[in-house]
Amino acid sequence: MLPEKKAVYLKKISNLLLSERTFTVTYCSNLENIEISSSSKNKMIPEKFNKLTLTLGDTLKTNASRVEIRDNYGCVFRLGPNSTFELEKIKKRIFPVYYGTVYKYRNLLVYARCGSKYRTSCWVYCDKSVFITTLDNNKDKFFAFSPHVDIYEYDEEDKKFKICSINEGYSRVLTYCANERMRNRYLFSDQQKISDSEFEYITAQFINPSLWISH
C-alpha cells in the first residue's frame, strides 16, 4: 500500500474507532411480522427496512421473519425466526445482545476489539464467525466458522475470563445455571465436528447470501 493511501486508510479506521457503534436493519423477509419495543415512545417502524436504525433501548423480535442487522464496524447479524436483538449499555458502551438462532460474522477488516453477547450465556469477539442456537432453557449450542473461537464472560468483579474455545468446523454445547456464581455457572461439552446435515442447514439458511437480499 502506498504511503498516502495508507495514511487515508488509517485515518478512516481512526475515525471509525472513535465513533459510536450504529446498527441498521439491512434485510427483513417480512417487515409486518417483526416487533420493536423501544425506550423512545416515538419509535415507528418505517415502510422500508433499510431506513430502520436501532438505538439504545430498542428490542427487535423477528417472530416469523428473518432479519439481518449490520453495524458500522462491519459486523453482520442474521437472525432466524423467533429470535431477538437488542442494544444495551454494558461497561459504558453500547453492545448488541441477541437470542434465538443467529449467524454472526464480520465482513470488514477493522482492527477493533469489540464483542457481542448471546442473551442467556456469554460473549464472542466480533471478528469471529459463529452460528448459535438455543436448545432449551439452559443450553445453547455454538458452531465455529472461524479459527479458534473464544467464548468468554465477566465475573462479579468485572474481570473477564474464558469459558472455552472452539476450533473451526466444530461445535460445543454450553449449559448454564443462573443460580451459580459467574465462574461456576457454565459447563461445556467436548468439541464435536459439525455434521454434514448441520453444515448444509447453516450454509443454506444463513450463510447463503441469496436468501438475505431483497429482490
Q: Return the percentage of the chain with pLDDT > 90, whole number.
A: 56
The CA-to-CA distance between both ends of the chain, in Å, stands at: 37
Which cell is 173 given?
454445547
The percentage of residues in the chain with a pLDDT greater than 70, rounded to a whole number, is 80
Q: How confident is the model at residue 52 (pLDDT cuts 50, 70, 90)?
A: confident
Phi and psi, residue 117, nearest 5°: -120, 130
Given a contact cutoff of 8 angstroms between Cβ atoms, the answer to whether 35 and 60 are in contact is: yes
Helix or strand (DSSP H, E) at 94: strand 93-99
Mean pLDDT of 3-32: 66
Helices (H), 101-202: 196-202
pLDDT higher than threshold 70 for residue 43: no
Contact 51, 24 (CB under 8 A): no
Smallest Cα–Cα separation from 98: which of 73, 114, 80, 72?
A: 80
pTM of the model: 0.85
Query: Which pLDDT score is estimated for 171?
Result: 98
Q: Does position 9 have pLDDT exceeding 50, yes or no?
A: no
- pLDDT confidence of residue 127: 85
Tell me the torsion sign for CA atoms 105, 16, 55, 44: negative
Chain segment 53-93, per-residue pLDDT in tens: 898 889 999 999 999 999 988 899 999 999 999 998 887 77
Q: What is the predicted pLDDT for the residue at 215?
A: 65
pLDDT in tens, 113-159: 566 788 776 888 878 999 999 999 899 999 999 999 999 999 999 89
